[in-house]
Structure 1
Amino acid sequence: MLFDYQEFLGGIDRSAYHEGEWQWEEDGYTVTRTYTYSAPGCHTSCGVLMYTKDGKLEKVEGDPLDPCANGRLCMRCLNLAEGVNYADRPKYPLRRAGERGENKWERITWEEALDEIADWIRVNIDEAGLGRESIFVNHGTGRNISSWVPFLGGACLGTPNIGAIGSSGYSCYLPRTCGTAASIGDFPIVDASEGHEDRYANPEWHRPDVVVIWGCEPLKSNADGYLGHWLVACMQMGTEFISIDPQLTWWGAHAAYWLPLRPATDLAIALAWLNVITTEELQDKEFVDCWCAYYDELKEYVAQFTPEWAAEICEVPADVIRESARFYANAERGAIQWGLAFDTQNDSIQLCQTVSNLMSVCGNIDKPGTNILVRNGFEINPGYATAQLYCPPETFAKKLTVDVVHPGYVHFIGMADCDAVNQAFETGKPYPIKMFWSQGANCIACTANAAPRVYKMLENVEFCVVADPYLTPTAIAFADIFLPLKTTAERDSMRVWWTPLRAMKSVSEWYEAKSDEELIVALGNKLNPELFQKRWPTLEALLQDYLDTGFNIYDPETGKSYKSAGRSKAGMVEIEDAHTEYWKKHHADGECSFDALVEKGCYEYDDLCDTYYKYEKGLLRPDGQVGFSTPSGRIELVPFATFGAWGIDPWPKHHESIHTIKWLTDPEFKKEYPFICVNGSRSYEFFHSENRQQATMREFHPWPIVKISTQTAEEYGIGEGEWIWLENSEGRCRQKAHIDPTLNPNYVYAEHGWWFPEEEPAFPHLYGTFDVNINNLTASYETGPGGIGCPFKSIVCKIYKCTDDVAEPAPGEVVTRLGGFRNDYVAGEPYAYGMEDSWQERQKRGEE
């Protein structure tokens, strides 16, 4: 064993790290023990020591006394001071002084900004006879979006339409949460001891025997409340690995098996694994008999999906599929770590259902070293339900739901449907979107598929507010009012994503920037004073209510308490007590406060995530009975009831995207677009579109990179580091080639989220974002069953070298001045297979 946790703990000089203190003076610095959370940052939250001098963040170190990360940090945290102290970071609220896109601003006060926002809403929405549903609130990722942005939308602005613009199929994380909720009733994550405060030393914990790293790179992404280095510790303790990924990652290079499948054919692999496990009777018979429903039906169904069937689809040898399935199933403790690739394909929700079945039939659920079931610590569950809690019922009933654009589907997601939002912007149906609020988001550079289409949608919106720590391409292009937000170093906030509950303590200030939480208090007291002055008049009251009730409706005068009925259509339900488990645990001793949490070291672990075999102990069901939180109380391997209510076929079926079907069946189309492009490769330096301002990060990673194979480089005469064009019927962009000798020659791997803060911000350039935006090549409106999933990571393209002898307008100019790559968009329709109405053809006809 390379990693001995007790030896690690014994080697820490605890007095040097001021055990028991949350702040102290050291060598001229004030040192604060706290946690980070974006922006800038990532999906997770690590324990850090922030060193400040004269109120300025100077450096960040890992805190070895933090049991969550044990002092380990990635370069995003280590380089945090550069992002916080970025010289061109906006200091004050700004009003647009010229035309949109001219990058002309004038400084205004917060009072002026909030008054203008309130007045615009009053005149142009309320007095105009429109409803607040005509406001759309867009969020990015990170920044406690599930807590604060829906709360801002519902309680402050009074709109139910909150979500991620241009992200068809909710294609980030929701397919996994919904797919597992339908079958298991809770969310499974790999048990790397993260549920325990004493971590690897916990006497009940065992390291996994086998972990499947499926469609993700945990070391680069640290996604979904999970730290990649936890799995490295497991590897050092003897865990073996399987990598299922089209490219050879670090994990694949260290794995017992690597399955380099064709992109977006994961469901075929999963079904074939179930075939092997059930036909060879490798299942955990006792667990299946006691705790699973519909096993016989599942076994009969998957009998058709042999490894030979999957091999034809996935381009992975049948023997490798069969042997790797046995390797996982025969492990006493197996676990599966999945990633965004699960969400970014058409059959995503059924893929997530099927992979959760793999965990279940092998008994790898909630026992040590498998996939444990987790919930937010202390039952603190603020999320999209807060919009339902505080948005007026008659307005909430008008939320843009999936059936608006995909008839026959059932809306069961908290956020507004992305494609229904697109259609409202494009057509004004079922009502127009008049105001666009963007919070901590940079949609045209990052999240928006069909980015040029989203640009066309937004350029005519009547009023736009952007709240962000930085002036992004999205802010330059659309903002009428810009509100500067604080970074993680300047926020008093809390974060609960599984466990532990964590506090972020402000260590510095940035001029007049406000935190998301401070903005909510200020905006709410301006727009909804009756509610806010009673319940959240101050930041302190807001943070306290987070701990007390998780923002559930609670009226101490009447004793009435309510919460959202979740995925059902029942709306609000009365509950006995709205208080959280944290409040119940600490209220009597007076320690239920933000300050008390900070003084404890900024974290506290809950009991639920610390407990194994919760289904045996009555901890999962609301009635306290043993079993799982599903209609039957068992794991429903075929989720007839839940998928039936959602309008989704309970029998998983692999199907390809529109473009890959054409790519596989039409030789001329494949000749025109010979490559499958995997979109959104992660890096160590960046989190989506964040950190491009940081000189150190750019020194490591100065340009957007597209990986191509050695064979492709030779065939096309492309050298390392040369700019190449990527193009398909939707649009094009350019990135710099990196030659990867391990890559399949049919695939290319492109990066997303790029812009260049050092370059020209004004039109048509917009920091160069459209010139390199791989989402120029993606499309809206194509989703899978239930309106879930979208083929981000299996688009098709051609490539060719960039040359200086061809005078062509840059993509940024095409998008902002020449009408875009297409002007034939039809709401609800994703693709154009020809280029008859492309910008090139319009130029030939002499059209502007």
Structure 2
Amino acid sequence: MGLNLTRRRFFEGAAALGALALVSGCAPKALEEEKEQQSQAQQDEVIDIDALEVKYSWCYMCGSCKTICATKNYVKDGKFAFVEGNPEAGNNWGYGCKTLCAKGNTAMQTVYDPTRIEYPMKRVGEKGEGKFERCTWDEALEGLAARLLENREKYGPWTYAALSPQGGSTVNSVGRRFLNVYGSPNYLHSAICQEQITSSRYITLGTSANPYPVQLKKTKLLVNWGVNGENADVNNTNDRANPVRRFDAMEEGLEFIDIRPMLDPLAAHAAEWVPVRPGTDLALALAILNVLVEEDLYDHEFCETWCNGFDKFADHVKQFPPSWAAPITGISEEQITRISQKIGTVKPMGLMYGNSAGDQSNDGNWLCCCINMIAAITGNLDVPGGGGAGMKMPEALFEVGKIKTLKDRLPVYDEDTENGWAASRSKLVAPEFPRWYQNPDDEALDLWPKEPSSAYNGGLQSILTEKPYPLKSVFAHNTNPLSQTRQPQIIAEALKKLDLFYVMDTHWNPSCNYADYVFPACTRYEASAQIGTRNMEEGTFICIEQQVVEPLGESRSDWQFYCDLAVKMGWEADFWDGDFDGCLREQLEGSGFELEELREKGYVFVERTDGARASEPEYQNYEKLFKGLPNGKVQLYNELIGGKPNNREDGELTFLPEYVGPPEGLSETPELADEYPLIFTDVHAHRLSVHSYFSSLPYLRERNRKPWVKINPATAKKYGIEDGDWMRIESPHGWIKMVAEYFEGISPEVIMGKRGWWQECEELGEPGYDCFDGGSEVNALYDATVENFDPFHAGMAKQTLVKISKLEGGE
């Protein structure tokens, strides 16, 4: 039996087992506990799946509006009872697959979670007190609209901002439309997201080239740099990070190098595990580039023809040998040299890098650029099995339109015109990227992102500093700013001072206590408001969310909320006369589908009958790939950004990479390390939660009970801490409590936790934990000095130095 089939059966069996346990209304438990708490009748209950009503939708569990996995949802007696993947959607392992991950199998529990918000609420106490009273939708919307219009007139439209923790479809489409009609460019993006990684790639390789191997079975060496596939991609279509596909490629001869501070499961199968100190990845990347150049392991023809400023670059990296990087990164000179030589000689080679490497350090832009440079100078761009070069998919059999954001409604100010900036860029409160870079009209380069954005943390800090001006109105949509970004105590003070703050969410997160209005959001299983498509060799798939069950309480669709608020503000003409169905019909124009037809069927799969299949692309078309970059070449010496203002406008960006390192580090701040001798960081994604959400769901919380921190047993014993003990973890910025979890696959100088423990789980009797000092929110430990954020894409350090001790008394 092949390795692929073995693992596929394991995952499908595990998914089915978890889902069936949920049908009976309880989460899976250890056998003895199950015998104690369930009757024999419950244990023996059998449900005839074929007799249940079926509704179709997209899975909600990797983000509120993503269309990654399409689902079949079974309803029994009006209740959401069971879920599985839609086999015609091409999920996970392709056409015919029904599996969902652990999160996907908890869909029913999200709907019936007892901690859901069910009614609109308005504040009656002081901000932060958490005193609210129930009100009607009309009362809340009218009150909110009046204050938004008043603040727009009194302070200017630019003083309004919307928080976006990730590129969620709602906030990024109809949410942006609302911002643009209001007249504000201040979409506050997290700077902990794919946009950081993407922008760094674009300024190095352009918009079409990338180092990620797409034909993984042809790849001989994969460098996995900070990608957490075991958690982020365990059951989706990502060829590079999906564990099963990685194992399939290993059967074809793939070996991989895993660069991560913790030995996660896939790293155990690597040819080399490189446990780099958190926050020092750029030093490692520079040392690898040094070896590639000094040992003549680069592709001379490619570098001479297609690399901008190779000679300047080669001379620059001479100052970063492995002997320089070793004491910074904690990796030996010998290992740095060894992996560099392998990277330079094994072909085809591909690199994949994730959030933990690219956007969660204060020199993350240059790190991402350097990773792309490694792929480029070794001649591994756009070759089969190397970076990019994916098979060409047959054209989709139909298309669905995108929601127009009305970005032309943003005002153009004199300062925009004088500086050659795009509309309203002069009014960005905390530019996530430099103002000059946020230029959607640069068609030659096709820069990213396409619409304006300010940095989430810096924008909120403006409320306190009043620099360049204070925001006055902020909308938190499906995000908890007290867990989303650094230093929740500072964020809480900003929310207290904010003139108008309103929230829409499924759960009462800690930031709600500071809101003026709180609105109850539906899960996607309670509304029919989003369309998604997928194109594959077998055909093209389209699915709309069918309403699976009635909304809980008075909760409403996020999409419809914007229409309702727009009507109260007098903007119904810009929001489909207040009916979001108008937007759906607009998206379907030209597709051949009518909204009513699609809603009735749920999904349609149009089979490909012309015999077309994926075909080989045109390889190594570098003139086309690098079009738009300065001199039409890979930017080793970066003339696109070099010498131009940074995002803070307090200095210029450099032409060549410079190592900065974390604000607190063992080698960077040795005097601080005397008192705080350990490095703390946290995982970006986790298979049993989505950022800081879903700890309230029994099925997931049961396997993720307490706020944990991975610690090497030798380190723990040095401080008298046993496995399972509560620990006090203190940085120069604050302190938290977490439960020690012994794990030998982590360096003795590093401990690693997970953010987001504010939700309680009533069914299991597990509490939620505070976001401030003495709680369990890891962001309380990190630096929030704006001057320390990445000067190009506003990435923030996700590591600090800490001291630890056993916490007597535990919880």
1:782 offset after TM fit, Å? 3.9
Q: Which of residues 524, 527, 534 is equivalent to 1:488?
A: 524
Q: For residues 396-431 of structure 1, what are the alpha-carbon distances to aligned partners after superposition, in whole Å with 9 as ceiling and x for unaligned?
A: 355335479x99997676311345423420033433
> Which among 803, 807, 810 is matched to residue 808 of structure 2?
803
Q: Partner letter of residue 783 of structure 1? A: N
1:137 and 2:136 aligned: no
Give, in whole Å, the separation in 1 of the partners of 2:176 and 2:59.
Answer: 21
Among 147, 161, 166, the residue aligned to 2:172: 147
Equivalent residue in structure 1 for 2:193, among 172, 176, 182: 172
Equivalent residue number for residue 382 of structure 2: 366
Question: What is the letter of the counterpart of residue 490 of structure 2?
Answer: R
The Cα shift of 1:758 comes to 4.5
1:788 maps to 2:790:
no
- 1:388 and 1:192 map into 2 onto residues whose CA distance is 33
> Please, which of 363, 373, 396 is the counterpart of residue 424 of structure 2?
396
* Superposed displacement of residue 779, structure 1: 2.3
User: 2:188 aligned with 1:160, yes or no?
Assistant: no
Greater Cα offset, 357-366 or 451-460: 357-366
Q: Say which is worse superposed, 141-150 or 707-716, in terms of deviation.
A: 141-150
Name the residue aligned to 2:242: 228
Aligned to 2:39: none
Q: Which residue of 2 aligns with 1:416?
A: 454
Decide which moves more: 794-803 or 181-190.
Answer: 181-190
- Residue matched to 2:225: 214
The residue that corresponds to 2:487 in the other structure is 450
Offset at 1:659?
A: 2.1
What is the alpha-carbon distance in structure 2 between the residues aligned to residue 603 and residue 674 of structure 1? 60
CA distance change for structure 1 residues 310 and 735 in 2, over 3 Å: closer, same or farther? Answer: same
Tell me, in whole angstroms, the C-alpha distance in 2 between the residues paired with 1:525 and 1:515: 15
Q: CA deviation at 1:596?
A: 11
Q: Under a length normalisation based on structure 2, what TM-score does the superposition of the two structures give?
A: 0.79
The match for 1:556 is none
How far did residue 520 of structure 1 move? 2.2
Where do residues 133-532 of structure 1 align in structure 2 (5 Å cutoff)?
A: 133-141=158-166, 143-144=168-169, 147-148=172-173, 150-155=175-180, 157-164=182-189, 167=190, 170-186=191-207, 188=210, 190-192=212-214, 206-222=217-233, 226=238, 228-229=242-243, 230-285=245-300, 287-288=302-303, 291-342=306-357, 343-372=359-388, 386=405, 388-394=407-413, 396-402=424-430, 414-418=452-456, 420-444=458-482, 446-475=483-512, 477-490=513-526, 491-494=528-531, 503-506=543-546, 507-511=548-552, 512-529=554-571, 531-532=573-574
With over 3 angstroms needed to count, the CA separation of the structure-2 counterparts of 1:44 and 1:753, relative to structure 1, is farther
- The one of 74, 88, 100 equivalent to 2:115 is 88
User: Which residue, 107, 112, 126 being the options, matches 2:134?
Assistant: 107
Match of 1:768 in 2: 770
The aligned residue for residue 834 of structure 1 is: none
**AA aligned opposite 1:775:** N
1:46 Cα deviation from its structure 2 partner:
1.8
Secondary structure in structure 2 of the residue aligned to 1:60: strand
Q: Give the 3-state SS of the residue equivalent to 1:600 in structure 2.
A: strand
Check conservation: 1:136, 1:162, Cα contact below 8 A: yes
Question: For residues 351 and 535 of structure 2, what CA distance do their matches in structure 1 show?
Answer: 17
Please state how far the C-alpha of 1:767 moved relative to its aligned partner: 5.3
Secondary structure in structure 2 of the residue aligned to 1:459: helix
Q: Which residue does the alignment assign to 1:559?
A: none
**1:39/1:344 Cα in 2 relative to 1: closer, same or farther (>3 Å)?**
closer
For the 8 Å contact 2:375–2:381, the answer to whether it is kept is yes
Post-superposition offset of 1:237? 4.2
Q: Does residue 753 of the first structure (1) align with residue 790 of the second (2)?
A: no
Q: The residue matched to 1:632 in structure 2 has which SS?
A: helix
- Residues 652, 769 of structure 1: alpha-carbon distance in 2 compared, 3 angstrom cutoff: same
- The verdict on how the C-alpha distance between 1:284 and 1:540 changes in structure 2, with shifts beyond 3 A counting, is farther
Q: Give the AA of the match of 1:215.
A: G
CA distance in 2, matches of 1:415, 1:320: 40
Report the CA distance shift for 1:47/1:643 in structure 2 as closer, same or farther (over 3 A): farther
Matches within 5 A, 1:440-839: 440-444=478-482, 446-475=483-512, 477-490=513-526, 491-494=528-531, 503-506=543-546, 507-511=548-552, 512-529=554-571, 531-532=573-574, 537-546=578-587, 586=591, 599-601=603-605, 613=617, 627-645=626-644, 647-660=652-665, 664-667=668-671, 669-680=672-683, 682-758=685-761, 768-770=770-772, 771-780=775-784, 781-804=786-809
Structure 2 regions of 5+ residues with no counterpart? 13-47, 414-422, 440-448, 646-651
Range 670-679 or range 414-423, more displaced: 414-423
Q: Deviations over 1:578-632 (max 9, x none)?
A: xxxxx5xx46x9899976995334999xxxx9776567669xx9xxx67544243
Indicate the SS of the match to 1:677. strand
Asked if 1 retains the 8 angstrom alpha-carbon contact of 2:457 and 2:485, the reply is no
Could you list the per-position Cα deviations for residues 739-797 of structure 1 after superposition, in whole angstroms to 9, with x for gaps in the alignment? Answer: 2223222111122111132489xxxx985333111111112214355243545322111
How far off its partner does 1:322 sit?
2.0
Q: Which residue pairs with 1:571 in the alignment?
A: none
Letter in 1 for 2:323: E
Q: For 2:308 and 2:158, locate their aligned partners in 1 and report how far apart those are by CA, in whole Å.
A: 42
Identical aligned pairs, as a percentage?
A: 25
The aligned amino acid for 2:583 is L
Tell me what 1:199 maps to: none
Partner of residue 2, structure 1: 2
What RMSD over aligned residues (CA atoms) do the two structures have, in Å? 4.1
Q: TM-score, normalised by structure 1?
A: 0.76
Q: Is the alpha carbon distance of 1:465 and 1:250 closer, same or farther for their aligned partners in structure 2, counting shifts above 3 Å? A: same
Change (3 A) 1:101 1:501: farther
- Indicate if the aligned counterparts of 1:241 and 1:251 stay in contact, CA closer than 8 A: no
Rate the CA distance shift 1:443–1:403 in 2: closer, same or farther, 3 A. Answer: closer
In the TM superposition, residue 294 of structure 1 has moved relative to its aligned partner by: 3.2
Q: Which amino acid aligns with 1:430?
A: P
Q: 1:409 to 1:752 in 2, by over 3 A?
A: farther
Whether the 8 Å contact between 2:124 and 2:132 is mirrored in structure 1 is yes
Q: Take 1:449 and 1:715, find their aligned partners in 2: how far apart are those partners?
A: 30
- 2:84 maps to 61
Does the 8 Å contact 1:160/1:388 carry over to 2?
no
Whole-angstrom CA distance in 2 between matches of 1:77 and 1:766: 22
The one-letter amino acid of 1:159's match is S
Distance 1:7 1:679 in 2: 28
8 Å CA contact 2:69, 2:92 repeated in 1: yes
For 1:5 and 1:289, the matched residues in 2 are separated by 45
CA contact (8 A) 2:225 2:352 kept: yes
Q: 1:283 to 1:654 in 2, by over 3 A?
A: same
Q: Do the aligned residues in 1 keep the contact of 2:361 with 2:790 (CA within 8 Å)?
A: no
Cα–Cα, structure 1 residues 153 and 471, in superposed 2: closer, same or farther, change >3 Å? Answer: same
Label 1:415 to 1:88 Cα distance change in 2 as closer, same or farther (>3 A). same
